[in-house]
Structure 1
């Protein structure tokens, strides 16, 4: 059996500046039909900042969809569909934390939620981050608190379930527990 679904019909339900919501009728591998409702997203970047002292710079912000505060790595949508992921990551790093880095490595691209979104997030790790004297300001509707933690403190946040954001968990699990010789 081929694991492919063929689009039979597509209807745009909603569109805004960073995503479009569709409802598609699809033909399933067993020749039956079904409906798929999904988001087409232009993409985003995220970055795990690590200071010269080895502290991990996380952010805390209220997230309306979960009705609570989330602990995350800096991230944001691409300003243009084809914006370079590193450019986006460095912009978000500066706007959300006031830090920058000249030592940024690509970690991984990943789909944030394959069940209903095409969003691809480019993940980076920024080493040797330094605080800027006059960083660019962030979005007017973002209210962020910085949380600088050691690796041990980050492990506690992960293991206790205090971090539930998928992009943050992905990069932290690799950085804290992976075979990355750090």
Structure 2
């Protein structure tokens, strides 16, 4: 690729030149915090508040019949039981995204997978949260035993296998509105149409998450 072609490549660009002059937690939470930063921006100083998030590992499981694994779970902030892919907070010290995804697949769906690929990386709300989501594609699925006990909202999880094309139709019709699920389903459909050639190695560096602000994400790997 020539330098000119690289310059035209559509890609987000890190901004290491932005100097954070002051950072403080203004609200501590059990799962995430709210942080306030003061930073230099050109000739001015700006103040921004944002959710300091741990990050998320997510899994789109797909079987040999092109059916995807979806879970229905109650989500209190939106007051609804929505359909989601397997996903969980990266709140275990030293745990990689892949290991977190494998753990969540077992805990939420009683499954393990022998084939893992990276499907998509997502910044869910870059204007207000450091939440970075890594979505894996899991194939060659099999049952697995574990000692995790599902509690709270997880205790009533409903599992359904849905043809990928039906999931795509539900997204486009507005019946599925969970953003991580939408991105996973549409990305999988696009990747399948390209013969899965867009998939990346499951252990690819997660540079975006490493660069986000705050402490909740910074203390995780």
The two structures have a TM-score, normalised by structure 1, of 0.86
Equivalence for 1:111: 123
- Tell me if 1:150 matches 2:163: yes
Taking only aligned residues, the RMSD between alpha carbons, in angstroms, comes to 2.1
Partners of 1:147 and 1:11 in 2: how far apart? Answer: 43
Which protein has the bigger strand share? 1
Query: 8 Å contact 1:56–1:149 — kept in the other structure?
Result: yes
1:51 to 39, 43, 63: 63
Aligned to 2:169, the other structure's residue is in SS state helix
Aligned to 2:62, the other structure's residue is in SS state strand
Aligned to 1:51, the other structure's residue is in SS state coil
Query: 8 Å contact 1:108–1:123 — kept in the other structure?
Result: yes
- Tell me if 1:27 matches 2:40: yes
Equivalence for 1:63: 75
Equivalence for 1:11: 24
Query: 8 Å contact 2:53–2:130 — kept in the other structure?
Result: yes
Aligned to 2:57, the other structure's residue is in SS state strand
**Could you tell me how far 1:84 is from its partner in structure 2?**
1.1
Query: 8 Å contact 2:119–2:188 — kept in the other structure?
Result: no
- The runs of 4+ residues in structure 1 deviating greater than 4 Å are none
Compared CA separation, residues 44 and 81, structure 1 to 2 (3 A): farther
Which protein has the bigger helix share? 2
- Could you give the per-residue CA deviations for residues 66-96 of structure 1, whole angstroms, max 9, x where no partner exists? 1112111100012324311111101111111
Equivalence for 1:181: 195
